Structure formats: C-alpha cells, structure tokens
Amino acid sequence: MSPSLPYDLKLGPVKLKVSDLSRSLAFYREVVGLGLLQTGEGIVHLTADGHTPLVILEELADAQVTPRRSVAGLYHFAILLPSRKDLGAALHNLIRAGIHIGQADHLVSEALYIADPDHNGIEIYCDRPRDTWRRDAQGNYIMATDPIDWDGLLALAQDVEWEGLPPGTTMGHIHFHVQSLQKSKHFYCEVLGFDIAADVSSRGALFVSAGGYHHHIGLNIWAGENAPLPAANATGLAYYTVAFPDSSSLQQALGRLRSEAVPISEKPDGFYAVDPSGITLRMVSA
C-alpha cells in the first residue's frame, strides 16, 4: 500500500538564484507585487502578507543565466491568489508593466504566466471552486489549456487600486522539468506519499498532490528525458519547501526517504533532500 500525505499539507517559500539582485527585486516588487520582508548580504525575503516569506532571492557571483527548457529543474512556481478579483487586479498590473503574459483556463483554475529577468517561470493563478473540479474514468483531474476570460477578469477588477498581492496569497504549486517521469513518480508518490492527481504521461507530464488538490507538484520531460543538470553557478531554483502540518507526518516522510537511502541534511531551518533530477526540497513542519 502506498503511503499517503496529510490532506492539509502545503507548499512554502521557494528560493531562487538570480544574477542581479537589484533588478530581480524591482521585478518581484513592481511587476509581481510582492513586498520586502527581510534583507541580508546578497539575499532578500519577499512576502504578500508582511509576515510570511513566499519568495527568497539570492544573488550568485558570476551567475550563468539558464536558458528556458534547457535543464532539469524549475519550469515554474505558482502563486495562488485568494479570489478571481485578485487575479484580475494582478492582470491589470502586468499589462501596465508591459511584459509578455501567457494565459490558460485549466478548468480547475485560471492562470497567468510570466518569467522573471533570469527566465524563472512564474504562474499567478486562482482556483475555481473545488466542487466544480471533475475527474475522468481513470480518476485523473480533467484539466485543459483553454483561453481565459481576459475581458471578464479585467472588468471584475476595474475599480481595484493596485497595492500588490493581497494577504492570503500562498505558494499553490510548483512545476519541474525532470529527467525521468518513472523515477520521479517513484520518489514523489511511492516514497514521499503524494497521490497522482492527473497522469498525462502520454503527453510527457504527471501531476501529483495531497488532500485531493488538483496538483501541488507538476513533473514533465519537456526539456528532454535525462535533461542535463544545471551548472553550479546557474540561475534557477535553489530549493522549494514542503510544509507538513505537524512533526509526526514530517518524521514519517523522512523515515520513508531514509528507507530508500535518500541522503537527508538537517539544518536549522529544516530538512533537505534531493530528488532523482537533482532538485532540492526543504521539508518543515508547522
């Protein structure tokens, strides 16, 4: 029997490696709409609610900017907004910023797509009510990439004064280029305990989640099977965070990783492990 993760498992902050901290800080504050929480030498913590870190930026010396879809690692991280009106307000701000905006109606959610100055992919989205999500005969959530109601979103938020992303904004999910769907499925589902939310391996992707969510983690081989690992000084994801609701569920997951001989590093801010594609996850408990 496969392990199962707690229904109230969440994702926490992502840490990104960037080539120019000042440039990235301006982008994440002015374009994305995050606020400054904490600064250090070559590092900043950004927040939506003024208390909780959501994105951490660290500048690399002599950074090598990673071309999109070229290595195993981050495809995009996804910032979940509390309401559709909030998504409309974010869309207004992105249009004012004059950057390229991708978009998709996934049926379970509506999403906007942008990229930061180092080509890190960002999704900004809101969920549709869970009781409208549908599954197919195999139990997979039915998702699509239809056009969003662009005009409707803009109209909904036409009177909103932009003050950045609102409190209640969270890290909704994260999506990776991986080297192997089979190895990733074993690691994330059979060892860590995520459930399969949508198996679209025929199109090179797999979506996994806890608690019946449409997906906490997306996995794809769109950068190619056995995609190379990024260089040590490459921009991109340093780590992402899985936040367990309690110490017991965290320790159970750590035990399963240890049973598979996955090296775990304990640090003051959590436990760290690396998945089969060289992607670092940080594990913490509430």
Q: Give per-residue burial for 68-78: e unless 16+ CB within 10 Å, then b.
A: eebbbbbbbbb
Please tell me the distance from the alpha carbon of residue 46 to that of residue 33, in angstroms, as a whole number. 10
CB-CB contact of 32 with 21 (8 Å): no
Residue 286 has pLDDT above 90, yes or no: no
Give the three-class secondary structure for 136: coil
- Cα maximum dimension of the chain: 55
Please compute the mean of the pLDDT values over residues 159-181 and round it to a whole number: 97
Instruction: Tell me the pLDDT band of 74, cut-offs 50, 70 and 90.
Output: very high
pLDDT of residue 3: 80
pLDDT of residue 1: 58
Residue 95 has pLDDT above 70, yes or no: yes
The sign one gets for the Cα dihedral 252, 257, 263, 269 is negative
Give the three-class secondary structure for 191: helix
pLDDT of residue 53: 98
Write down the mean pLDDT value for the chain: 97
Instruction: Tell me the pLDDT band of 200, cut-offs 50, 70 and 90.
Output: very high
Q: H-helix or E-strand containing 80?
A: strand 73-80
Please compute the mean of the pLDDT values over residues 176-197 and round it to a whole number: 97
pLDDT tens, residue by residue, 213-226: 999 999 999 999 99
pLDDT tens, residue by residue, 210-268: 999 999 999 999 999 999 999 999 999 999 999 999 999 999 999 999 999 999 999 99
Residue 2 has pLDDT above 90, yes or no: no
Q: Give per-residue burial for 172-199: e unless 16+ CB within 10 Å, then b.
A: bbbbbbbbbbeebbebbbebbbbbbbbe
As a residue count, the chain comes to 286
pLDDT of residue 266: 97
- % pLDDT > 70, the chain: 99
**pTM of the predicted model, to two decimals?**
0.97
Q: Where are the domains of the chain?
A: 10-285
Homologous superfamily of domain range 10-285: 2,3-Dihydroxybiphenyl 1,2-Dioxygenase, domain 1 (3.10.180.10)
